[in-house]
Structure 1
Amino acid sequence: MLKKSKYIILGSLFFASTLAASEFNLRSSGVDIKYDDQTVTIKRMHDEECKTINGADPKNIWSGNYAKEGLPEKCVKKFVTTVGKITPMKINDKIETIGELEVIKFIKESQTDKNKLLIDARLPDWFLQMSIPTAENIPFPYFNKDKYPDDFYDVLDMIGVKELSEGKYDFTNAKELLLFCNGPWCPQSTLAIKNLIKIGFPQEKIKWYRGGMYSWKMLNLTTVSE
């Protein structure tokens, strides 16, 4: 079965952040534009105080109140917005990026169609804190055969894929997958998808919920926790 220890995958989390930053310079440095006779840089704003937050701890990320004081706690959302690197809207032209209504439709259809699998690609600590109902936690490092071969074969079994020989796979019974992670700034689901592409998984059977948990929580949709 898939391991749940956070210690064996912290290195992969660091690698994921580094890879995401190097792929798209715009994610970190932004872009300069001319506007009203002045130069403006469009980029994510990172206050110095916020840089001290431990981005590997889900309890830290899902904290902080940015609403007006005195409002009922049930009416405001609490989460940090200053970590990570922005992902593009599309991974490629073959993989569909979807929104919340499409996720809900997918979940409803999966109740009677067991060939549809909603995957929370985040590390276990994040999944245990909260996730989308019906999601299976398959941490993104486990899609990497070179680093986690034992867990990789568990993943193949979960997504309906068989290995015929080294590097060759049977996708006849491959499930339709919908992957997500923390939000538009999170690279974990995209890394999982890239490893699926690497083994030849049919890309028309992959959907990506770019908004992830941030968008889901922002819209006050139902979450579950372990």
Structure 2
Amino acid sequence: MILKVLKISALSTILGLSLNANDFNLRGEGVDITYNEKEFTIKRMHDEECKTINGADPKNIWSGNYAKEGLPQKCVKSFVTTVGKITPMKINDTIKTIGEIEVIEFIKKAQDKEDMLLIDARLPDWFLQMTIPTAENIPFTYFDKSKYPDDFYDVLEMIGVKEVSAGKYDFTDAKELLLFCNGAWCPQSTFAIENLIKIGYPQEKISWYRGGMYSWKMLNLTTTSE
């Protein structure tokens, strides 16, 4: 057996520590490595021509023709390659990262329970374009009390939290939350979750669907639009 040695030029790896998405910038300089006596930089590749596409428009994300000519339009799929920021697989050791089967199970269970809430953390124009059935749109910006205090208190009411004094919260009736956004390249749901963590929301009541709409659509699961 020939062993191929991969040397990563990062102190944490030399020390035997694991890397996560926050240890380096996959959108920028990436990670320099030596592999089979050759130098590589592992990073996200951006086609210059693709950068001219208005990625802020949800229609440009969920449409497009990258398949061979002549295929029925419903068979043509798009793959997002140049937008957003890569998220880690786990937010922490308490909050669960889940997949499509678990999302479906959550939706099914939530039909008979008012203390479970599926949250689409994207901005309204994305939500209106397409979302997962039963999802409530609570934009990630609303979780930021410092910038959107009025919206923040609306969020607290929706998720079953009461502010008992300045910066102190009662989580007795806190709901079980499942948050998602556009996909593994979308940091909006993690932003919302990080703000929930800041106020002390019970982390065992938070789940995260990392794949988001991208994975949901890739598997051709049911969507709804307004």
- Using the size of structure 2 for normalisation, the TM-score is 0.86
Please report how far the alpha carbon of residue 43 of structure 1 lies from its aligned counterpart in structure 2 after TM superposition: 1.7
Q: How does 1:34-113 map to 2 (within 5 A)?
A: 34-113=34-113
Q: Distance in 1 between matches of 2:112 and 2:129?
A: 27
Q: Distance in 1 between matches of 2:52 and 2:207?
A: 34
Please report how far the alpha carbon of residue 31 of structure 1 lies from its aligned counterpart in structure 2 after TM superposition: 1.5
Q: String of CA shifts for 1:135-193, please: whole Å, max 9, x gaps.
A: 00000010111111111111001000011010000000000000000000111000000
Q: How does 1:7-26 map to 2 (within 5 A)?
A: 23-26=22-25
CA contact (8 A) 1:64 1:80 kept: no
Q: Distance in 1 between matches of 2:34 and 2:80?
A: 30
Please report how far the alpha carbon of residue 35 of structure 1 lies from its aligned counterpart in structure 2 after TM superposition: 2.5
* Amino acid paired to 1:27: L
* Amino acid paired to 1:182: N
CA contact (8 A) 2:46 2:81 kept: no
Please report how far the alpha carbon of residue 75 of structure 1 lies from its aligned counterpart in structure 2 after TM superposition: 1.8
Q: Distance in 1 between matches of 2:202 and 2:40?
A: 42
CA contact (8 A) 1:63 1:80 kept: no
Please report how far the alpha carbon of residue 55 of structure 1 lies from its aligned counterpart in structure 2 after TM superposition: 2.4
SS in 2 for 1:48: coil
- Using the size of structure 1 for normalisation, the TM-score is 0.86
Which segments of 5 or more consecutive residues in structure 1 lack a partner in the other structure? Answer: 1-21
Count of aligned positions:
205
Partner residue in 1 for 2:153: 153
> Looking at both structures, which has the greater relative contact order when contacts are Cα pairs under 8 Å and sequence separation is at least 6?
1
Structure with more helix by fraction: 1
Q: Distance in 2 between matches of 1:41 and 1:68?
A: 31
CA contact (8 A) 1:178 1:206 kept: yes
Q: How does 1:168-207 map to 2 (within 5 A)?
A: 168-207=168-207
Q: Distance in 2 between matches of 1:68 and 1:150?
A: 49
Q: Distance in 2 between matches of 1:100 and 1:40?
A: 34
* Amino acid paired to 1:126: W
Higher Cα Rg, which structure: 2
Partner residue in 2 for 1:163: 163
Q: String of CA shifts for 1:41-93, please: whole Å, max 9, x gaps.
A: 22211100111122222122223222222222122223532111111000111
Q: Which runs of 4+ in 1 moved over 6 A?
A: none
Please report how far the alpha carbon of residue 97 of structure 1 lies from its aligned counterpart in structure 2 after TM superposition: 0.3
Counting aligned pairs with the same residue, the percent is 80
Q: Distance in 1 between matches of 2:91 and 2:200?
A: 15
Bigger CA drift: 71-80 or 201-210? 71-80
Please report how far the alpha carbon of residue 101 of structure 1 lies from its aligned counterpart in structure 2 after TM superposition: 0.5
- 1:223 and 2:187 equivalent? no
Partner residue in 2 for 1:136: 136
Please report how far the alpha carbon of residue 224 of structure 1 lies from its aligned counterpart in structure 2 after TM superposition: 0.4
CA contact (8 A) 1:161 1:171 kept: yes
SS in 2 for 1:107: helix
Q: Please provide the CA RMSD for this pair.
A: 1.5
CA contact (8 A) 2:22 2:88 kept: no
Please report how far the alpha carbon of residue 25 of structure 1 lies from its aligned counterpart in structure 2 after TM superposition: 2.9
Partner residue in 2 for 1:27: 26
Partner residue in 2 for 1:9: none
Q: Distance in 2 between matches of 1:87 and 1:69?
A: 34
